[in-house]
Every structure is written in structure tokens, then in C-alpha cells.
Amino acid sequence: MTFIDPSFNKILHIGDQFDQYQIQSYLAQGGMSDIYRAFDMLTRREVVIKIPNQSMLGDPAQAERFQRELEVITSLDHPAVLKGIGSGIYNRIPYLVTEFIDGKSLRQVMELSGAFLPEKAIPILLKVAEGMAYCHAQGIVHRDLKPENILIRLEDGQPIIMDFGLALTRRSHRVTFSNLTVTLGTPDYMAPEQIEGQRGDIRTDIYALGTILYEMLAGRPPFGGDTPLAVMAQHLNNTPPRLDQVAPKVSPALAAVVARCLQRQPEARYADMPALMEALQNPASADLALLEPQKQKNRPGIQQSQMLWGILLGMGLMVGLIALALLLQTLLP
């Protein structure tokens, strides 16, 4: 169980009543949200409530992010996808309600166990891939897959995908300046096309699952760096170390499957989740030539330095807009 500092400045506290919900415990903090375990006094069941953290309450796009996530999770019905229950606004605070799952995030499990053996990692990833294949069939691309967004149920080890706030749907449109938060997320699992500002597609999720599987097997992500920008630059231009050399228990064939997921060009990756699942179940057919660094080509387009300066400028712009919104909130009656 992750320890939460009781001095942390939270909006809600244990015992508070928030709309029809009584707060039971504080579960986690994301980049933009606080997550609480609560008791629904009308339905008499435990639920999870997600609200924007205080630094994001001035973000005018936050409500749309919540609405997008609600539309996605209430339209899906799969054992590997978290179920949405409802949403609302209480005391001017938007919130999202989901089912409560007794479990730990994949991140927590990885921190406790260290690197996984292939026979433990592959069944987990296959179930996640199956859930994402279902999502893709419904026209939904997650775009933010990472260990923090995969919950492992304690009862049976079932992985459950959550946090669809950045999901791309058939009806999705770009969200004003808050769209820059896609680039401000954890860069370890971002596909090169996301870093370049593209919207991404099914193959973007395949890249993310490749980075997750690499980390599960190696005990560390494929790329590292002192700053997010350094990690982004590696995703754009570098080839990760061969997985079978970093993790001796991994066969060259399985390493080649992961390497194909991590190809910088989307068209060089697996075309869809069923193809990835087939490769994980039958890795002997993998192309071992993918383990050679020269198989990867640098992505065309703007120069790396120009791209990274653009990302940095976008970060500064977003921070400035949020600060301005918060200032206006305090000045207006």
C-alpha cells in the first residue's frame, strides 16, 4: 500500500461528504487528478472518485477531459477495461465516478517484484492487449498507456486498463491549450509521433505496450535520461539496447517481438493488437534482423533541436496560460 503524506494539501479529506459520496481514503495523485475511495450513500457501494487537483482547477479544458473519459468508459464493456459509473459537478468541482477495484497498479507491482520473468509478464500483457483490441474495435485509441494506468486486481491478477482522459475516439477533436498536456506526461511510453505532435493511432498504443513489456522484463524502460526532453530525444532518434542482452532470461525471438513494437516508424510496427498477440504467443516466427540497430531509420521531418525547442516553448505557454487563468479566478468576483 503506497503511503500518502497526511500533510499533503488535498481538496477532500477522509470523512468528508462530497455530493452523495463519503470519502473513505486517498488513493493516488495523477498529473492532473486526485483519486479517492468513497462510499456511495445512495447505492450503498464503494466507488472511486476522480477530481482535478488544485493546480488544475483553473484549466477550462479539464471538464471536457472528464467528459471524454466518461463517454469512453461508459461505452465499453470488457473485463480488462475499468467501468465508468457517472460524473457531476459539486461545489464547482467536476468529478468522475468509476467502479472500485481492489488492486495495485502495475507500477506498484513492478516496484515490489523487480524485473518479471517472461512467463509472468507475457500473460499480463496479453490480457491488456486483448482489452485494447476490444477498445480499438470500438474506435478508441488510449494514447496514454503506462504502468500507472493498468490496475492489477488482487483477487485474480486480472489487469484493468484505466484513465482514458487522453483517448482518441471517432468524434474526438483537439482540446485548446490543455492539449499540450499530452506532451507534458511521462515521456517513457510516448511514441515518436506523439512527441512530434501527431494525434496517433492504433500503432501508438502498440508502441506503448512495447515499452511497458520492455520495462517489465528488463526492470527499466528502454530509454532513460536526466530530463523529459532527453528521453523524448531518444525516442525520436535512438534504438534501445537489445532486450535479450539487458534481460538474459529473454529469448532473442521475444526480444525481436518487442523491438518491432518499438520501431520508430508506425508502419514498421505490428498493424494491430491481434497481430501483436499472435507474435507474443508464437515468438519463434519473429524477424531477428529487427535486433540490428541499422534496421531503424531516423524519422523524417523537422530537426531534433527545433522540435525540442518547440516542445519547451509549448510547455512554457501552457504554464503561463494556466497561471493567467488562476489569477483571473482570484480577481473576478
CB 117 within 8 A of CB 250: no
CB 232 within 8 A of CB 191: no
pLDDT class for 182, splitting at 50, 70, 90?
A: very low
CB 198 within 8 A of CB 81: no
Q: Which grid coordinates are listed for 137?
A: 474495435
Flag whether 1 is in a domain. Answer: no
Tell me the average pLDDT of the chain: 84
pLDDT class for 305, splitting at 50, 70, 90?
A: very low
pLDDT class for 170, splitting at 50, 70, 90?
A: confident
250 in the same domain as 234: yes
Q: Picking from 41-55, 114-128, 189-203, which range would have the lowest pLDDT averaged per residue?
A: 41-55
Give pLDDT, residue 289: 93
Give pLDDT, residue 11: 82
The vertex-301 CA angle with 297 and 305, nearest 5°, equals: 95
Give pLDDT, residue 295: 47
Residue 211 predicted with pLDDT over 60: yes
145 in the same domain as 257: yes
Residue-level length of the chain: 333
Give pLDDT, residue 316: 58
pLDDT, one tens digit per residue, over 264-289 is 999 999 999 999 999 999 999 999 99
What CATH number does residue 241 fall under? 1.10.510.10
Q: List C-alpha distances in Å: 193 to 65, 196, 201, 219, 308.
A: 21, 5, 9, 25, 13
**Residues 6 or more apart from 160 whose CB is under 8 A from it?**
79, 80, 81, 82, 101, 103, 131, 150, 151, 152, 153
Above pLDDT 90, what percent of the chain? 61
Q: Which grid coordinates are listed for 259?
A: 523491438
Q: Give the count of domains, the chain.
A: 2
Domain span holding position 173: 103-301
262 in the same domain as 177: yes
221 in the same domain as 113: yes
255 in the same domain as 199: yes
pLDDT, one tens digit per residue, over 112-159 is 999 999 999 999 999 999 999 999 999 999 999 999 999 999 999 999
Catalytic residue among 34, 144, 163, 205: 144
Q: Picking from 34-43, 59-68, 294-303, which range would have the lowest pLDDT averaged per residue?
A: 294-303
Flag whether 307 is in a domain. Answer: no
Query: Look-up: residue for cell 488510449?
Result: 142
Residue 260 predicted with pLDDT over 90: yes
210 in the same domain as 281: yes
Instruction: Indicate if 144 belongs to the active site.
Output: yes
Flag whether 2 is in a domain. Answer: no
43 in the same domain as 149: no
pLDDT class for 92, splitting at 50, 70, 90?
A: confident
Higher pLDDT, 228 or 52: 228
Give pLDDT, residue 135: 97
- Read off the pLDDT of each residue in 203-212 and give the average, rounded to a whole number: 98
**Residues 6 or more apart from 19 whose CB is under 8 A from it?**
88, 90, 95
pLDDT, one tens digit per residue, over 100-110 is 999 999 999 99
Flag whether 312 is in a domain. Answer: no
Give the predicted TM-score (pTM) of the model: 0.82
Domain boundary, last residue among 99, 130, 164: 99
205 in the same domain as 253: yes
Measured CA to CA, the distance from residue 68 to residue 211 in angstroms comes to 25
256 in the same domain as 130: yes
pLDDT class for 184, splitting at 50, 70, 90?
A: very low
283 in the same domain as 160: yes
Measured CA to CA, the distance from residue 133 to residue 129 in angstroms comes to 6
What CATH number does residue 29 fall under? 3.30.200.20
Measured CA to CA, the distance from residue 23 to residue 21 in angstroms comes to 6
Flag whether 332 is in a domain. Answer: no
Residue 46 predicted with pLDDT over 70: yes
pLDDT class for 178, splitting at 50, 70, 90?
A: very low
pLDDT class for 331, splitting at 50, 70, 90?
A: low
